[in-house]
Amino acid sequence: MLDIHQTSTAVSDRGSKQQLESAAIILDCREHGESDLIVTFFCRDHGRLTGIAKGAKRSKKRFVNKLEIFTSLLIRHTMPENRRLAFIAEAELLKSFLTLRQDISCYTTANVIRECILLATQEMEGDEQLYPLLIWAFTSLDSGRPPQAILILFLIRFFTAIGYSPQLRRCLNCSQEVHERETYTFYTTVGTIRCSNCSKREESSGTPLSLGTIKSLTAAQDQPLDRLQRLQLSPHSQKEALSFLHHYGRQLFQREIISWSFLDTISSKNVYRSR
Ligand SMILES: [Zn+2]
């Protein structure tokens, strides 16, 4: 049975061009010439790869309606060599994640996730945590879970996976553990919270985080992936969390997350608004 969680397997070896079969998510697909497509996909073993699907625009059998953004596929491909593109021979649909292309809230959320993955990864850099996290996020969105909560849970785990886990357990300056009688502010430049006493001495502005939000987010950092969606965040916590995660992402990437601006336009309740 085909499995979206599977890793790559070698399927043939013709000379130096070994062909692999990888379960992957399509992150980008653009036209190239009259009939080819350039496809960027993300798989567990090799991370982000970019390849060319020759004749894909004409091929009814090998690729038709498969090389769509956010789709999960089993891709038969070579590895890129000498800075050249991988060669994509064939693709088999694993899961279309149709909701992500049809529902505007899911689409804009998935697009932020996609942009963050593209910003944080290099070609051919495998990562054991990112691929399952990406599958978890897209599966959760596709099954109708609230997009803003999925984005928060994805981002808090994503920053940990790329080595920049926000430190929310104790004040950076006095090292006191988070407790009920204190208020906290998150500082994006250092990726850590400070208590009210220590914040007063800081000149740079931070994002206030309530205790409830801090507790929800640290729980999200600790939970196994298959239990992550059980976490509930209040509307207030969602607003706070999105604001700080947005600022933190901009600080880490040293640029705006372009697709984030579309989140603001889709929610009438303003739960996505971060400023
Ligand atoms: Zn302190």
Ligand 1 centre distance from Cα of residue 165 (Å): 19
pLDDT at 267 over 80: no
Q: How far is CA 183 from CA 61, 173, 180, 196, 197, in A?
A: 59, 14, 8, 6, 9
- Choose the weakest-confidence range: 9-13, 127-131, 180-184: 9-13
Ligand 1 centre distance from Cα of residue 135 (Å): 38
The whole-angstrom separation of Cα 83 and Cα 177 is 48
pLDDT at 2 over 70: no
Ligand 1 centre distance from Cα of residue 247 (Å): 21
pLDDT at position 13: 59
Ligand 1 centre distance from Cα of residue 25 (Å): 43
Q: What is the mean pLDDT of residues 2-25?
A: 75
pLDDT at position 61: 75
Q: What is the mean pLDDT of residues 245-271?
A: 84
Q: Are β-strands 184-187 and 86-95 bridged in parallel, bridged antiparallel, or unpaired? A: unpaired
Tokens representing 135 are 């599958």
The whole-angstrom separation of Cα 207 and Cα 89 is 48
Ligand 1 centre distance from Cα of residue 62 (Å): 59
Class of domain 9-96: mainly beta
Three-state DSSP class for 120? Answer: helix
Ligand 1 centre distance from Cα of residue 194 (Å): 5
Ligand 1 centre distance from Cα of residue 209 (Å): 14
The whole-angstrom separation of Cα 263 and Cα 199 is 30
**Tens of pLDDT along 54-86?**
988 887 677 777 889 999 999 999 988 877 899
Residue boundaries of the structural domains of the chain: 9-96, 100-266
pLDDT at position 97: 96
With beta carbons less than 8 A apart as the criterion, state whether 266 and 105 touch.
Answer: yes
Class of domain 100-266: mainly alpha
**Tens of pLDDT along 150-196?**
999 999 999 999 999 999 999 999 999 999 999 999 999 999 999 99
Residues by chain with Cβ below 5 Å of ion ligand 1: 171, 173-174, 195, 198
Tokens representing 216 are 């929800």
| Chain mean pLDDT for the chain | 89
Ligand 1 centre distance from Cα of residue 174 (Å): 4
pLDDT at position 205: 81
Please give the distance of CA 246 from its chain centroid, rounded to a whole number: 13
Backbone φ and ψ of 261, nearest 5°:
-60, -25
The whole-angstrom separation of Cα 137 and Cα 95 is 13
Ligand 1 centre distance from Cα of residue 184 (Å): 9
With beta carbons less than 8 A apart as the criterion, state whether 26 and 41 touch.
Answer: yes
pLDDT at position 127: 78
**Intrachain domains 9-96 and 100-266 with the same fold:** no
Q: Which residue has the higher pLDDT, 5 or 213?
A: 213
**Tens of pLDDT along 80-126?**
887 789 999 999 999 999 999 999 999 999 999 999 999 999 988 87
Ligand 1 centre distance from Cα of residue 181 (Å): 12
Ligand 1 centre distance from Cα of residue 100 (Å): 42
pLDDT at position 1: 52
Q: For 210, what's the count of Cα atoms within 13 Å in the CB-facing half-sphere? A: 12
Ligand 1 centre distance from Cα of residue 252 (Å): 23
